Amino acid sequence: MLFLWLYMFYSCAGSCAGLVARGSPAPPRAAPPGEPGEESSPEEQRAAPDASSPISSFFNGSGSKRLPQAIIIGVKKGGTRALLEFLRVHPDVRAVGAEPHFFDRNYERGLAWYRDLMPRTLEGQITMEKTPSYFVTREAPARISSMAKGTKLIVVVRDPVTRAISDYTQTLSKKPDIPTFESLTFKNRTTGLIDTSWSAIQIGIYAKHLENWLLYFPIGQILFVSGERLISDPAGELGRVQDFLGLKRIITDKHFYFNKTKGFPCLKKAEGSSKPHCLGKTKGRTHPDIDQEVVQRLRDFYRPFNMKFYQMTGQDFGWD
């Protein structure tokens, strides 16, 4: 009897599917990455087959939306966009393209809203997002921990002086009439007192921000990626990231080429494309000439914070 039932089941597999396709409405269209999808009711969720089952895969074919298991939390102008674009080449990584800003600006919208922004994933794939401002948002660590204590966090850091100049350059491109970098750096240039209230300076005090994260996450749950090495050795840094995420090392040297015009590595083939891909014109802007005395003052200012950051992370980033 069992053999007869199995025979009937497998014989029906193809024809029954066809009958369903002809006699029933088509399944809902899967929402593209970043596009809100329709939430099922609790009753439908209980009645639906397991998302990882072959039957579910047959009828759905696009997986389900999940809260992210890994988040790139910072830092602004450190290389977060490059890292995300490189990671999306991996077949087991699915990520939101735009920055959700959920844990800093949109938290009141709730986790259901946040999950709806996520791309659909299959069993075994990792859902990711990146919002660099999380690293400096005081409430973000507690909020992410409340969502899932096991969330893996990635921070892309860069020489804080270079990062500050890059941050200023971005603002200057949008607001050409802003004061000079030099005038914004100091509360009083005569005394050399640095204005730590200016966000371009404040973001680079990495040790201070990290202390807040370590109240909620163990250091081993946070990966620190060097923005400089992401340029000089992208495959090496991506190897570390893939290991951290528990992924097979699929992204290697063969995926990159160095674009001399832009001054940073580009992908030979982007996700879902057979063409080379470089980050847009908003990346790799030419920095304005900054008074070298001001640069040195900033290096002196950041040095003790950098040393503390090296001790906290167990990594020497070589910024001094």
The yes-or-no answer on residue 77 being catalytic is yes
Q: CA torsion 72→74→80→83, rounded to 10°? A: -40
Q: In which residue are the tokens 């200012």 written?
A: 301
Q: Name the catalytic one among 65, 76, 77, 130.
A: 77
79 is in an annotated binding site: yes
What's the residue count for the chain?
320
Q: CA nearest 228: which of 153, 120, 165, 156?
A: 156
Listed residue (233, 273, 291, 317) closest to 88, CA to CA: 273
Q: Does residue 194 sit in helix, strand or coil?
A: strand
Residue 177 DSSP SS3: coil
Element of type H or E holding 126: strand 126-130
| Coil, helix or strand at residue 306 | helix
Dihedral over alpha carbons 149, 247, 274, 73 (to 10 degrees): 30
Q: Quick one: tokens of 84?
A: 């995300």
Q: Count the alpha carbons within 13 Å of 100 in the hemisphere toward its beta carbon.
A: 31
Q: How many CB atoms are located within 10 Å of the residue 106 CB?
A: 14
* Annotated binding residue 78: yes
CB atoms within 10 A of CB 232: 12
Residue 50 host element (H or E):
none
Q: Structure tokens of 16?
A: 């029954």
Nearest-CA neighbor of 298 among 157, 181, 136? Answer: 181
Residue type, 214: L
Rg of the Cα atoms in the chain: 24
Joined together, the tokens standing for residue 161 give 């002086």
Q: Which residues are annotated as a binding site for 3'-phosphoadenylyl sulfate?
A: 77-81, 158, 166, 283-287
Catalytic center residues = 77
